[in-house]
Amino acid sequence: MTKIKNICCIGAGYVGGPTMAVIAQKCPEIKVTVVDINAERIAAWQTDELPIYEPGLLEVVKEARGRNLFFSTDIDKAIEESEMIFMSVNTPTKTYGVGKGRAADLKFIELSARKIAEISKSDKIVVEKSTLPVRTAQSIKAILGEQSNGVKYQVLSNPEFLAEGTAVTDLHNPDRVLIGGDQTPEGLEAIEALTSVYAHWVPRERIIQTRLWSSELSKLTANAFLAQRISSINSISALCEVTGADVDEVAYAIGTDTRIGSKFLKSSVGFGGSCFQKDILNLVYLCEYFNLPEVAAYWDQVIIMNDYQKRRFAQNIIHSLFNTVSGKKIGMLGWAFKKDTNDTRESAAIYVSDFLLEDLAQVSVYDPQVPAASMYSDLNYLQTRPAAENKQMLEVCKDPYEALKDAHAVAIITEWDEFKTLDWERIYRDMQKPAFIFDGRNLLDHENLRKIGFKVKAIGKGEE
């Protein structure tokens, strides 16, 4: 069987970085080199200021870095030296041409495959770690095959299921590892080679081996099912608000049915992150492509419901503040798409603040991990107004009390733990009256806040 001694990973992002750090930590005899075209990112991985914030990650990186974990911009060398190459590049939604706004943009995957084909002089196992549409391996094989120079390739699908904020614990203790490959003797051998890497720390019964296409499709399906649960409970939150039912009580009541289960039933201002929306849009595109319009419409509804939830939250703020927020300061707590990450991709914060800025609010944001530059770049990307106006209308604060001083309302967007222990009496004193709290995460103790004097509006909770 192919013994893996050198691994290369193309893409040093939220997936490539943590995944390879854990492989290097658990497999000290394997040299793991993570490469990227982004020199700034690679440089940051070599310091203690890692380019991504993830609890526990620095400890893992420090254990392996310089021993058998390396970060480099020398992509050619790392490819040449390795028996196994992971492709962990970004696959965002296409912003141009055919499939614009829906299909996954596979240009970075294609470039990586072409690079591997150009450089390789010995046989390689190429692993799809990025999330890809079903049957992408076919295109990768075609690209690799075209200029093979006698080199033999096996393509595996090994999607990543880690969630941001809990990446290290997810990687240390995964529910399962999925490996898909060709059901030929060579394909099965490649599957075994990758299995033996994970088997350093993952029990064999949790390593699922499948056909290539099943593995590729399972990743999109898993994300679609998870997001669907959030949209389902968010749809019920709207009904709760008009009927006086409490969405957390409903979620608890249904989640105790073991057939339903309790996870991913937390109603919120809407899901964000780089995966759910992108992957469902991709699924919808695939269904349309394969002429399955009913299936496409079914999954599209998950996104429609999520957009509705974000818009509804912002509209509720405007409506409650006497139908205008023009010139009013709104303090926003949290910009990241969930706690314990500095990632802001598709965060509800972007859409909620854009909506409020359209109504001429002054938004002041505090987030413990997100730099101001990311917030402005997120807003500017929407192109709703000139960058200079965003700069003028959105204030970024380093201190939560500063963000909320003289505000008419607080909007809780991210469920950072530190928001629970703020001095809410002081905040109340410093705010305009009536002082509103819009809790987009049902994070705070609403009863206590009402005692202080706040008017509290929460997701899926009717009027007092």
- List active site positions: 160, 219, 275
Name the segment binding ligand UDX (CB under 6 A); options: 238-246, 259-267, 282-290, 451-459.
259-267
By the rule CB under 6 A, 223 interacts with ligand UDX: yes
Interface residue with ligand UDX among 265, 330, 357, 431 (CB under 6 A) is 265
By the rule CB under 6 A, 7 interacts with ligand UDX: no
Q: Residue 106: what residue type?
A: L
Closest separation between CB of residue 275 and ligand UDX, Å? 3
By the rule CB under 6 A, 215 interacts with ligand NAD: no
Interface residue with ligand UDX among 127, 140, 226, 281 (CB under 6 A) is 226
266 binds, among ligand UDX, ligand NAD, none (CB under 5 to 8 A by kind): ligand UDX
By the rule CB under 6 A, 7 interacts with ligand NAD: no
d(CA 409, CA 448) in angstroms, rounded, equals 17
What is the crossing angle of helices 348-358 and 293-320, to 10°? 50
The interface with ligand UDX within residues 317-346 (CB under 6 A) comprises 337-338
Interface residue with ligand NAD among 8, 13, 25, 69 (CB under 6 A) is 13
- Select 53 or 271, whichever has its Cβ closest to ligand UDX: 271
Beta bridge partners of 366: 333
Interface residue with ligand UDX among 275, 321, 363, 403 (CB under 6 A) is 275
Strand 6-10 vs strand 31-35: parallel, antiparallel, or unpaired? parallel
Element (H, E) at 396: strand 394-396
The interface with ligand NAD within residues 147-206 (CB under 6 A) comprises 160, 162, 164
By the rule CB under 6 A, 340 interacts with ligand NAD: no
Name the segment binding ligand UDX (CB under 6 A); options: 32-40, 133-141, 185-193, 261-269.
261-269
38 binds, among ligand UDX, ligand NAD, none (CB under 5 to 8 A by kind): ligand NAD
Copy the structure tokens of residue 50.
């890692």
Interface residue with ligand UDX among 37, 58, 111, 163 (CB under 6 A) is 163
The interface with ligand NAD within residues 260-319 (CB under 6 A) comprises 274-275
d(CA 357, CA 4) in angstroms, rounded, equals 54
Closest separation between CB of residue 346 and ligand UDX, Å? 8
Interface residue with ligand UDX among 230, 317, 431, 456 (CB under 6 A) is 230
Strand ranges inside 65-159, DSSP E: 69-72, 84-87, 124-128, 153-157
Largest CA distance in the chain: 75
What is the four-CA torsion angle of 121, 127, 128, 134, rounded to 10 degrees?
100
Closest separation between CB of residue 327 and ligand UDX, Å? 30
Interface residue with ligand UDX among 26, 65, 94, 266 (CB under 6 A) is 266
DSSP string, 221-246: HHHHHHHHHHHHHHHHHHHHHHHT-B
Burial class (CB in 10 A: 0-12, 13-18, 19+), 402: middle
Interface residue with ligand NAD among 33, 112, 157, 414 (CB under 6 A) is 112
Q: Residue 191: what residue type?
A: I
Interface residue with ligand UDX among 201, 213, 264, 289 (CB under 6 A) is 264
Q: What are phi and psi of 460, to 5 degrees?
A: 70, 25
Closest separation between CB of residue 165 and ligand UDX, Å? 7
- Select 345 or 457, whichever has its Cβ closest to ligand UDX: 345
By the rule CB under 6 A, 162 interacts with ligand UDX: yes
Burial class (CB in 10 A: 0-12, 13-18, 19+), 83: middle
434-438 long-range contacts, CB within 8 A, separation 24+ = 435/407, 435/408, 435/409, 435/410, 436/317, 436/320, 436/321, 436/408, 436/409, 436/410, 437/409, 437/410, 437/412, 438/313, 438/316, 438/317, 438/320, 438/409, 438/410, 438/411, 438/412
15 binds, among ligand UDX, ligand NAD, none (CB under 5 to 8 A by kind): ligand NAD
- Select 216 or 300, whichever has its Cβ closest to ligand NAD: 216
Applying CB under 6 A, the site for ligand NAD has a residue count of 27
Instruction: Count the neighbouring beta carbons within 10 Å of the beta carbon of residue 327.
Output: 9
41 binds, among ligand NAD, ligand UDX, none (CB under 5 to 8 A by kind): ligand NAD
Closest separation between CB of residue 258 and ligand UDX, Å? 18
Residues 6+ apart with CB under 8 A from 77: none
d(CA 391, CA 171) in angstroms, rounded, equals 38
Tell me, what DSSP letter sits at residue 401? H
Copy the structure tokens of residue 461.
């909770």
d(CA 137, CA 119) in angstroms, rounded, equals 19
Contact by Cβ (8 Å): 285, 103: yes
By the rule CB under 6 A, 160 interacts with ligand UDX: yes
Interface with ligand NAD (CB under 6 A) = 10-16, 35-38, 41, 75, 88-91, 108, 111-112, 130-131, 160, 162, 164, 274-275
Interface with ligand UDX (CB under 6 A) = 160-164, 223, 226, 230, 264-266, 268, 271-273, 275-276, 337-338
